[in-house]
Amino acid sequence: MRIPLSSPDISQSDIDAVVAVLRTPHLSLGPKLVEFEQAFAGYVGTPHAIALSSGTAGLELGLEALGIGDGDEVIVPSFAFIAVANAVLHRRAIPVFADIDAETLNLTPETIKEALTPRTRAIIVVHTFGYPADLAPILDIAHRYNLRVIEDACEAVGAEYLERKVGAYGDIGVFSFYPNKPITTGEGGMVVVHDPTIARTIRALRNQGRMQHDGWLEHILCGYNFRLPEVSCALGLSQLRRIAEMLSRREQVARLYYEALEAYPLIQRPPIVCPSGRICWFAFVVRLPAPFTHAHRERVIQLLTERGIGCRAYFPPIHLQPLYRPWSRALPVTESIASRTLALPFYNQLQKSHIQEVCSVLGEAVQKIAAEWGPSHLSAAVVD
Reported as type and span, the H/E element at residue 376 is: helix 375-380
160 strand-pairing partners: 165, 278
Which of these is catalytic: 32, 113, 165, 181? 181
From residue 68, alpha-carbon distances to 61, 65, 94, 109 in Å are: 10, 8, 10, 22
Q: What are phi and psi of 298, to 5 degrees?
A: -60, -35
The number of C-alpha atoms within 13 Å of 131 and in the hemisphere containing its C-beta is 23
DSSP secondary structure letters along 217-281: T--SS---B----HHHHHHHHHHHHTHHHHHHHHHHHHHHHHHHGGG-TTSBPPPS-BTTEE---
Respond yes or no: is residue 181 known to be catalytic: yes
Nearest to 46 by CA among 196, 160, 153: 196
The number of C-alpha atoms within 13 Å of 143 and in the hemisphere containing its C-beta is 8
Neighbours of 220 (CB within 10 A): 11
From residue 53, alpha-carbon distances to 24, 65, 110, 196 in Å are: 21, 17, 34, 21
Q: Which residues are catalytic?
A: 181
